[in-house]
Structure 1
Amino acid sequence: MRDGSTPMATHDTSWTAKPGRSSDATFSNAPKLRLFLVGNRFRPGLLRQVTVYGLLVLLAVLFLVPFYWMVNTALKPVEQVFRLPPAWFPQPIRWANFVEAMIMPYEASPPVYVYAINTTIITVNGVIATLFSSAMVAYAFARLNFPGKNTLFLGILSTLMIPFAVVMVPQFIIWKNLNWLDTLWPLMIPHWFASAWNVFLLRQFFMTIPKEYDESALMDGASRWAIFWRIILPLSNTLTIYLANFQVAYARTTQWNLYMAAALIIIFPCLALFFFSQNAFLKGITISDFKR
């Protein structure tokens, strides 16, 4: 320097000037390692994923064990059903159980195929009739204005609080007077008069659909029926599929091997329906933010 002072030392930025750099690098990578293992609220870590998926697999196994036992029992000969220790695999596999369960009467009961036909008729009628009638009533409460609408709607909702045991005897007397005992009519006709629960759900969902759709259709010359059939119902397919699944679920010793075979035959349509429509079914369950 010109003034004779001692020159200032320069900072060395090379890695060799600090022998502790390797330990510093290790500590600097610790947050990344923790993020990889533990994660945060935006990104699940490896440990969390392993724990969650492990619990899900365990729960899935627990839920599938009864179903596996039903399939296993359905394929066993009758002498192996209550054998101890239990046989986890039927030896030999007896496919004839399904044929016998379908066509053979048991203990003064008709064959299972008779139950299957009756169940199909009642279920198909119940799903179509309940959804159609409930949707029409719900559309009237959601879109039309008439005197006493709110009072009538509250009256319909109040029927949900009436236990079935209260109306069971009066219904039996009505069916008897109509000569409908030992027929399918008492299980089919009531579905054509709507369901209070379905009316409530559909009405709440219809109210979330903008009324501008109705007004535009009316300006184009569409009738109320066309608006209901071509606009409102297609927009409500998610909820209607959910209600259809719900209706099917509630449409409503011993040689256990034949019973299990019959049970598999009976539940197969429900499982197939849920398998092919599970996305819409789950979306329908999540509909909770209804317009008041």
Structure 2
Amino acid sequence: MTTTSSSPTLPSASGTAAAAPGGLTGPAEGPARRRLLPFSPWHLLLAPLSLVFAIPLIWLVISSVMSDAEINRFPPALWPSRIDLSGYRYVIGNAMFPRWFLNSLIVSVTAVASNLLLGSLGGYAFARMRFAGSRLLLGLMLATMAIPFQLTMIPTFLVMKQLGLIDSLGALIVPSLVTPFAVFLLRQFFLSLPRELEEAAWLDGCSRLGVLFRVVLPLSRPALSTVAVLTFLTTWNDLTWPLIAINHDTQYTLQLGLTTFQGLHHTKWSAVMAGNVITVLPVLLAFLFAQKTFIQSITSSGLKG
């Protein structure tokens, strides 16, 4: 007498699976359930949350095309009665505004380039080279990140004064040439790269710097993009240090120059809003351009030590 044994049905060639014993559903149920929504269910939570964070930016753009009377009206107007570009004309027509924009661009681009170069050299040294006191130096460097700027701005001012850089763009550039965060982030990313690639380059006769610039850095574009975006964001939006180190309006950065639109008794709010929109655009475009690599770097660097 022959008996037949019941066993789970294997998936067919078409990729569908039959029901398993005990009422368990196969993997075909997942795509069927996902077809109910054309997007991830998490978007139902993230979309309203992102709108909440975007409200200040939206309000800034709307206010920049309002007149001063509408901005100062109470209760405030939620939408302009007509598009008023007087704020933009006032800002762009200001003779010093292009100079302020150029000053901010010079400071930010120089800080980004120096942090990419010096941060890569320092990060690679801490990641791959073992020397006496390397871990102690790394710990001391990271400890400086916990010191608030309010405690270091006076010593920094005195150093810049001794160097004769006060009231010049050099006073804004030199303190930002390299940051501990850039060195640390690049070190963490370098640790995640396999050593075998570098060893292969050494066997081919490549020097230490050659390995860094020809092998390591081309593989580190996500980390480099992250350092570039964060450094640009920090230097472009900095107001406190330029307010201390710069006295003459020809050396003002964009953030410092926008404060001149606000007076003690009268403030041209349409110009302030328009100037802030112009100021935010480069930062927003830089982040959107490097968004993919930025997220990839944050998720891949980790805390490998």
Whether TM-score is above 0.5 comes out as yes
Q: How has the CA–CA distance of structure 1 residues 184 and 82 changed in structure 2, closer, same or farther, with 3 Å as cutoff? A: same
Other-structure match for 1:216:
200
Structure 1 segments, 4+ long, off by >6 Å, are none
Alignment partners' CA distance in 2, 1:275 and 1:90: 28
Other-structure match for 2:47:
57
Alpha-carbon offset, residue 262 of structure 1:
0.5
Alignment partners' CA distance in 2, 1:291 and 1:55: 32
Match of 1:248 among 232, 239, 242: 232
Other-structure match for 1:273:
286
Which has the greater radius of gyration?
A: 1
On the 8 A contact 1:103/1:113 being kept in 2, the answer is: no
1:145-184 alignment, distance < 5 Å: 145-184=130-169
Other-structure match for 2:102:
117
Alpha-carbon offset, residue 250 of structure 1:
1.1
Q: How has the CA–CA distance of structure 1 residues 179 and 288 changed in structure 2, closer, same or farther, with 3 Å as cutoff? A: closer
Match of 1:73 among 40, 52, 63: 63
Alignment partners' CA distance in 2, 1:200 and 1:94: 47
Task: Classify the secondary structure of the residue corresponding to 1:200.
Answer: helix
Other-structure match for 1:207:
191
Deviations 1:229-282 (A, max 9, x none): 111111111011112111122112511111111011111111111112211111
1:74-113 alignment, distance < 5 Å: 74-104=64-94, 111-113=96-98
Alignment partners' CA distance in 2, 1:132 and 1:43: 49
- TM-score of the two chains, using structure 1 as the length reference: 0.76
Give ranges in structure 1 of 5+ residues lacking alignment.
1-30, 33-38, 106-110
Q: How has the CA–CA distance of structure 1 residues 284 and 50 changed in structure 2, closer, same or farther, with 3 Å as cutoff? A: closer
On the 8 A contact 2:119/2:183 being kept in 1, the answer is: yes
Other-structure match for 2:5:
none
On the 8 A contact 2:188/2:301 being kept in 1, the answer is: no
User: After the TM superposition, which of the residue ranges 258-267 and 270-279 deviates more from structure 2?
Assistant: 270-279
Give ranges in structure 2 of 5+ residues lacking alignment.
1-23, 239-265
Alignment partners' CA distance in 1, 2:147 and 2:287: 30
On the 8 A contact 1:112/1:262 being kept in 2, the answer is: no
Identity of aligned residues (%): 32
Alpha-carbon offset, residue 101 of structure 1:
1.0
Alignment partners' CA distance in 1, 2:93 and 2:267: 17
* 1:237 partner amino acid: R
Aligned residues: 252
Alpha-carbon offset, residue 163 of structure 1:
2.8
* 1:209 partner amino acid: L
* 2:56 partner amino acid: P
Other-structure match for 2:129:
144
Task: Classify the secondary structure of the residue corresponding to 1:131.
Answer: helix
